[in-house]
Amino acid sequence: MVRGAIVNKAIVAVVLGCGSGVLLAQPAYRVVAFEGQAAPGVSGAVFETFHFGVVNDLGDVALIATMDGPAPGTDVGLWRIGPSGTELRARLGQDAPGAPYAVFDEFSLPNINNDGAILFRAELDGPSVQSSNDTGLWLSTPGSLDLLAREGDLLPGAVGLFPAFSDVSPVQWSLGSGSIVAIGGTTSSLIHGPGGWFFPVTSATPVPDETGASFLLAGNGMNGITPSGRVPISATVFGGSVDVSEGNRIYITDLSQGLREVLRSGDPAPGTGGVFAPQLLSVARINDAEDTLIVGLSTALNLGLWRERDGTIEPLVLGGDEAPGAIGALFDEPGPTVLNAHGEAAFVYELAGPGVTTTNNFGIWTGTPGDISLLVRKGDFAPGAAGNVHGSPLAEWMGLNADGLVAFLGELAGGGVNSFNDEAIWMTDRQGTLHQIVREGSPIELAPGDSRVVTSFETFGDFVFGRGEMASGGEDGKPRIFSDRGEVVFIANFADGSSAVVAGGFPPADCPADLAEPFGVLDFDDILAFLTAFGSMGSLADLAEPFGVIDFDDILAFLVSFGAGCP
């Protein structure tokens, strides 16, 4: 209480002398790289074609692009480009570290963390290369490039049916901080930490508190790894005194290789009057605080989402419940779900019930257990879309950042909509207002006086097995196109024939102190909103790095912003 009182008085004292400004938030755009721009680190070369672009929370983009100028076989590179600096990290034709007599032949599927490390897959060529060892995973850090795993290399312990690395599916690997990496699967998982690779769970791993029991299946699927190395494990346990009704379980493990049981089938399913059924029980998402989103089926026939936090499990949404903001409609089937650093969720859910048709049967909700609200529903008028409505699919891809901003990619419906203008990306600003960021057939302003019509755009998900696989809340280690800076990264192709990698959205410079109505005016309502959020450790107060932590840096960021006013 004393510390809070000091903080409150300090903020009020400082802002008494501050002016105020006005600003109604509008998306801003930052060009990461232009076609025809000089390719950093390669003399005489320019960017020709962009292939992959993913972002970290600092706004740095890991970019794979083809150059015009270099000879074939050396004309593709991997760069880090952004506020933290620009550098060429790898290039086709160069010797592949850790793979003697082999050179890089193809790059794909990068991932970048907040330390600036880039994890990527590469194909190899050379006299030592065969079809059984022609791919691998490398980790690039400033000044270093290291092989983490090569197809054909022996796994740690070389046990089980799969003693060697295979060509890993791109949606199964994830990147934590530093060199922390996870490769997931339905039957097993691998983690790379400071000591190298290890299996967190094998058939020989003792089942906690179960004499004579063994793990049959224990994988983390595609649920990723948090920055500090926490990994969710969905496991099947059998033997000993384990009854089949309680054999499906969820654990969390980390670099210490310990196991914490989160939930098992047969445990009470809060909010339903039943227990969790063994037929459907899996992890949806996890964050670094070990908040865990769970998809489950209750024996009371409620299919839903639950959040576990500090040993307490609460329902987020239950099938059959009335859907907030959709009068008369009921939650039916869950869709893509994401979880941010503060334990806030965003999720797509299919609806059923009175008044529900194929034109309005999906929605996106955000919030925490006991406090969820509708963001958008299929059939709603879409911001910036000239009277068109949100169509199907409502959200092929979705992201949620630490500040609670939501972004999603979907399709439009209505008069004049066709295959040349039916896709768009939307994002909420800090006040929760939804904005169109980019739409096929519509212009964006790259700089004052430089407005260009986007004929088409591509995101990382277009280059892998599906956009939905790249949904992320920021702490699951997945490759991301949406950052805590509030920017979405996409490749834009323009009507004039040019192309660029663009970051669009609401970066911190907009007006972070404008937290409360009336928006556009900095006043004591904004102070109260910040103090309330700070006191409850809410994401609204998370204004400064390190994002996901509420501390005095956020207070300073608020004071500086409030004192400066809004542009």
Could you tell me if 30 and 507 are in contact, meaning their C-beta atoms sit under 8 angstroms apart?
yes
Could you tell me if 320 and 330 are in contact, meaning their C-beta atoms sit under 8 angstroms apart?
yes
Q: What residues contact 43, with CB distance under 8 A and at least 6 apart? A: none
User: What gap in Å lies between CA 439 and CA 425, rounded to an integer?
Assistant: 7
pLDDT band at 203 (very low <50, low <70, confident <90, very high): confident
190's tokens: 């691998």
Give percent of the chain with pLDDT exceeding 70. Answer: 88
Q: What is the pLDDT of residue 187?
A: 63
Could you tell me if 281 and 294 are in contact, meaning their C-beta atoms sit under 8 angstroms apart?
yes
Least confidently predicted of 152-156, 395-399, 461-465, 526-530: 461-465
The pTM for the full model equals: 0.85
Q: Can you tell me the mean pLDDT for 528-542?
A: 80
Q: What is the pLDDT of residue 487?
A: 95
pLDDT digits (tens, 9 = 90+) for 16-47: 334 333 334 689 999 999 999 999 999 999 99
Residues constituting the chain: 567
Could you tell me if 519 and 24 are in contact, meaning their C-beta atoms sit under 8 angstroms apart?
yes
User: What gap in Å lies between CA 246 and CA 233, rounded to an integer?
Assistant: 16
Residue pointed to by tokens 């509008």: 26
Q: Can you tell me the mean pLDDT for 174-196?
A: 85
Q: Can you tell me the mean pLDDT for 292-307?
A: 93
